[in-house]
Homo-oligomer: A and B are copies of this chain.
């Protein structure tokens, strides 16, 4: 855990050092409870402590409150950015679109919808949310720019709108199950191809 929201890394400390196992157990318990269906605000420090096999004080010693803990827990969940190969624009887009809402941690899918209400409640939380998604947007932006430079994509397209076009369908399907009849597996490919070719008769 590179940075923690509340406690600065002690420069040099006497006494017993903080248990790394406890750190891990607390974060894991938080994510587990969320993934099991608890909403963010129904989540209690007491439940987390019990699940982690940890005293409440051990949590309060590390984080100022539930918000700070959640911040760190969600950071852990973020996962790694997909790395486009750089050969085919279409393949890169399929990879990036397929990675939307699909983190390394399988719990992510259950947790993500819980964040929707929180995102626009305060400027801080909105910023946190943007910090997570904007590097992913940047990745897609670069692929699209590359496609334009290589002459594969039209030069007059609006890159930002195109990103929304590629991201939106996948996101509403993964997070909201917008249309239960839509096959999530093949959706990335089908979305990319549809966006590439358009639907109009030529």
How many Å lie between the Cα of A195 and that of B114 in the bound state? 30
How far, in Å, is A161 (CB) from chain B's closest CB? 5
Query: Do B199 and A182 touch across chains, with their CB atoms under 8 A apart?
Result: no
Give residues in A with beta carbon < 8 Å to B.
Answer: 37, 39-42, 110, 113-114, 116-117, 119-121, 126, 130, 133, 137, 151-154, 157-158, 160-165, 167-173, 175-182, 187, 190-191, 194-202
Residue with the greatest number of chain B CB neighbours at <10 A, chosen from A182, A201, A202: A201
**Known A-B contacts A171-B172, A172-B171; A164 and B152 likewise in contact (beta carbons under 8 Å):** no
Chain B neighbourhood of A173, CB < 8 A: 164, 168
Of A114, A116, A126, A182, the most chain B CB neighbours within 10 A belong to A116
CB-CB under 8 A from A197, the residues of chain B are 198, 200
Cβ contact within 8 Å between A164 and B182: yes
- Chain B residues, CB < 8 A from A177: 119-120, 126
Nearest chain B CB to A56 CB, angstrom units: 22
A56 to B170, alpha carbons, bound, how many Å?
A: 43
Which of B130, B161, B187 has a CB less than 8 Å from the CB of A180?
B130
